[in-house]
Structure formats: structure tokens, C-alpha cells
């Protein structure tokens, strides 16, 4: 049985205790719910991979309550410190070289010599991290390949009975995962667009290389989570729809298409931040509601690729990718 904990003093204390004992606790952040486990405990980290059905080559993010602590486990240059000061706590993850004395289990980083670190911008998450008093490895709290959860209910839909507890802190405000920025090389590389807009990063540190460097066979994956089909709802997805077919449910952005018989509006005003906060809930809703009215596909209206639109477009492309 998965315990549902309220985000009060008692719930936080219970969640922190479970984490210290090596159990898995899902908790809300400003982006999405994370599936937390003690990052220094290899058995707890292994249990995260197990509960999600996640491939072991896909590394996890270590979460901290303070930037200083996060940066003490990695090799942080001036650039990393500047980015951390500006955007933490907040929806940004930094990939940096691991320090030799880093206590995070190697399995959490999938054996890589780098580590992804983040200080989330949510008061409940920060309290939990402080009380757990150990870095917490936390991928999104969904089964591997499925849509990320933005409420405790979503977490339970995928992981009930597979984790010790979920700490309910309400719906996530940002709604898409953190931006993942690789600062291991001279040129910063955007590994995953997310809650911090690329434009904001570039205003601070100059040009950021977009996307992955071309994969070289045998070299290993730079950010395996960026591959292939991901965030997949049950129904197939069609992108850039300017009209809707009879057998389609619609994910709308801006002025809706009147002919749709089942639709979820991301943002009537065409606001990408509002759309991001509603994206995963919309995909889940359309899956259920679309199936109920006999829809065979989800059609998605075009979304501009700036601000949080870049992260939305990325998630939708993956949702639409051929399923493997
Ligand atoms: O917003 C978020 O980042 C959420 C919340 C819970 O913090 N977490 C999250 O974790 O989205 P996850 O595991 O679903 O996605 C982490 C991404 C994956 O694409 C993974 O491949 C990449 O970060 N990543 C983690 N460690 C890495 C590393 N050392 N090098 C490159 N990419 C890494
Ligand atoms: Mg994920």
C-alpha cells in the first residue's frame, strides 16, 4: 500500500523518515512530481529504477536543498556558479563532472563521470530535502516512457503499490520538467528544454548549443532520457493539426477548432507558460476522455517554439514518436 501524506509537519516528517530508511517517496516539485530515494544508498537507487521500469543506462538527477551543497559534489566553474545563483532554487538541472569524493551512488549517475544536480523551487520539496539530510535522486514519478505526473493522483495512477508513499503538495506550477544544461565542456549544451527558457540562459551565459551533439556509435549516450518515444499517452498523437478529423480528440492552443467533439484547451490566450502547466494533465485527460468518446488519435495544434513552448514542443514530438 502506498501511503498518501499531506504536506504538513507530520507528513513531511514521515516522508523524510521513509527516505532516510531507504524507502521510495514521491514528492511534488515546481516542475513535476519526482520519485525520490536516498541518492547515497545504492539499494534505494536500484529500487527507483525497478519501480519505474527505467533502463539502467538512463541517469538520475540528484536533488539538494542548497546550491552550495549541490555544487560541492561536482566540479563547478564560475559559469556554473553564476547559473546556479541566478536560477536556483528553480527548474534547472546542471550536468557537471562528478567529484572523486561525491557520495552519490554511481548507479544514480548510471556510471557516468558526470552528475546532474538541481535545487528545486518548491517550499515543500525544499523542506523535505532539508529534513531528509541526504541528496535525493528523483526522476519523474511515472512508469518509464509514460506521461510525467503533475499531481499526486497522477503518481498513484502509475505507481500505487510500487512505492512507500506520495507527499501531496498539490498541482505543479511549471508543469514540464527542468531544463537540463550540460556544462562539462567549453560550449554549454541544452540536453533537455524545460522550465527555464533557453532565452533566459543565453542572456546570462551566451550561446547555448541546442540539442544533442550528433550521437557517435559506441560513445555512449549523453542524455539517454532524450531518446525515442517518451511521454507517450495511450492514444497516438498527430502534431501541427490545423483541422481536426472526426475520430480525433484535440489538444488546443489559442483559438479552438469548433468542429472538435472532445478537446482540452492548453491556453486560450496562447500563453506558453500556462500551456506548459496544463500539458501533461491535458494528455492524460484526452487519453481517458478521448477513449470514452471513441477517438482514435490525439491531434495537437501548433505551439510556438519560444519560451516554454520549446519544452512543450519537445515533449509533444516525443509523445508522437513511433513507439518502440
Ligand atoms: O524537473 C525535473 O527535472 C524532474 C523533477 C522530479 O526534478 N525530474 C526529472 O527526472 O525529470 P528524469 O529522470 O525524468 O529526467 C532526467 C533527465 C533525463 O533526460 C536524463 O537522461 C538526464 O536528465 N540526465 C540525468 N543525469 C545526467 C547526466 N549525468 N548526463 C546527462 N544527462 C543526464
Ligand atoms: Mg522523466
Q: pLDDT tens across 55-110, in order?
A: 989 999 999 999 999 999 999 999 999 999 999 999 999 999 999 999 999 999 99
Q: Return the ligand number nearest the Cα of 114.
A: 1
CA of 264 to the centre of ligand 1 (A): 28
| The predicted structure's pLDDT at residue 228 | 55
Q: Above pLDDT 70, what percent of the chain?
A: 94
Ligand 1, CB within 6 Å, residue ranges: 29, 31-32, 34, 58-61, 93, 95, 109, 112, 114-116, 118, 120, 138-140, 177-178, 180, 191-192, 222-226
Of ligand 1's atoms, which has the minimum distance to the CA of residue 93? 3
| The predicted structure's pLDDT at residue 212 | 58
Of ligand 1's atoms, which has the minimum distance to the CA of residue 91? 1
| Secondary structure (H, E, C), the chain | CCEEEECCHHHHHHHHHHHHCCCCEEEECCCCEEEEEECCCHHHHHHHHHHHCCCCCCCCEEECCCHHHHHCCECCCHHHHHHHHHHCCCCEEEEEEECCCCCCCHHHHCCCCEEEEECCCCHHHHHHHHHHCCCEECCECCCCCCCCCCCHHHHHHHHCCCCCEEEECCCCCCCCCCEEEECCCCCCEEEECCCCCHHHHHHHHCCCEECCCCCCCCCCCCCHHHCCCCCCCCCCEECCCCCCCCCEEEEECCCCCCCCCCEEECCCCCCHHHHHHHHHHHHHHHHHHHHHCCCCEEEECCCCCCCCHHHHHHHHHHHHCCCC
pLDDT in tens, 113-152: 999 999 999 999 999 999 999 999 999 999 999 999 999 9
CA of 285 to the centre of ligand 1 (A): 25
Please tell me whether the overall predicted TM-score, pTM, comes out greater than 0.85 for this model: yes
CA of 192 to the centre of ligand 1 (A): 8
pLDDT at 218 over 70: no
pLDDT in tens, 176-212: 999 999 999 999 999 999 999 999 999 999 999 987 5
Average pLDDT, the chain: 93
Ligand 1 probe mutation, 102, 110, 116, 167, most atoms within 8 A of CB: 116
pLDDT at 227 over 80: no
Amino acid at each position: 500500500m502506498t501511503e498518501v501524506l499531506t504536506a504538513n509537519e507530520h507528513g513531511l516528517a514521515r516522508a523524510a523518515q521513509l527516505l532516510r530508511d531507504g524507502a521510495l517517496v514521491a514528492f511534488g516539485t515546481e516542475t513535476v512530481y519526482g520519485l525520490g530515494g536516498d541518492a547515497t544508498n545504492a539499494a534505494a537507487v536500484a529500487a527507483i529504477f525497478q519501480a519505474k521500469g527505467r533502463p539502467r543506462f538512463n541517469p538520475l538527477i540528484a536533488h539538494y536543498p542548497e546550491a552550495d551543497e549541490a555544487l560541492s559534489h561536482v566540479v563547478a566553474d564560475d559559469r556554473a556558479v553564476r547559473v546556479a545563483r541566478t536560477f536556483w532554487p528553480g527548474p534547472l538541472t546542471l550536468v557537471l563532472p562528478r567529484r572523486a569524493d561525491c557520495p552519490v551512488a554511481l548507479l544514480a549517475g548510471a556510471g557516468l563521470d558526470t552528475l546532474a544536480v538541481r535545487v528545486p523551487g518548491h517550499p515543500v520539496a525544499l523542506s523535505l530535502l532539508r529534513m531528509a539530510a541526504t541528496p535525493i535522486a528523483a526522476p519523474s514519478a511515472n512508469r518509464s516512457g509514460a506521461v510525467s505526473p503533475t499531481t499526486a493522483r497522477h503518481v498513484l495512477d502509475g505507481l500505487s503499490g510500487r512505492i512507500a508513499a506520495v507527499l501531496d503538495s498539490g498541482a505543479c506550477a511549471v508543469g514540464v520538467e527542468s531544463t537540463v544544461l550540460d556544462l562539462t565542456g567549453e560550449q554549454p549544451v541544452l540536453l533537455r528544454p524545460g522550465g527555464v527558457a533557453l532565452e533566459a540562459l543565453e542572456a546570462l551565459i551566451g550561446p547555448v548549443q541546442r540539442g544533442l551533439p550528433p550521437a557517435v556509435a559506441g560513445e555512449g549516450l549523453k542524455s539517454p532520457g532524450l531518446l525515442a518515444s517518451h511521454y507517450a499517452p495511450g492514444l497516438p498523437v498527430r502534431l501541427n493539426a490545423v483541422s481536426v478529423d472526426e475520430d480525433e480528440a484535440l489538444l488546443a492552443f489559442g483559438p479552438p477548432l469548433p468542429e472538435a467533439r472532445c478537446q482540452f484547451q492548453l491556453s486560450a490566450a496562447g500563453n506558453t507558460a500556462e500551456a506548459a502547466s496544463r500539458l501533461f494533465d491535458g494528455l492524460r485527460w484526452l487519453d481517458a476522455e478521448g477513449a470514452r468518446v471513441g477517438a482514435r488519435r490525439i491531434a495537437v495544434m501548433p505551439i510556438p517554439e519560444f519560451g516554454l513552448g520549446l519544452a512543450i514542443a519537445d515533449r509533444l514530438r516525443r509523445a508522437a514518436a513511433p513507439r518502440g
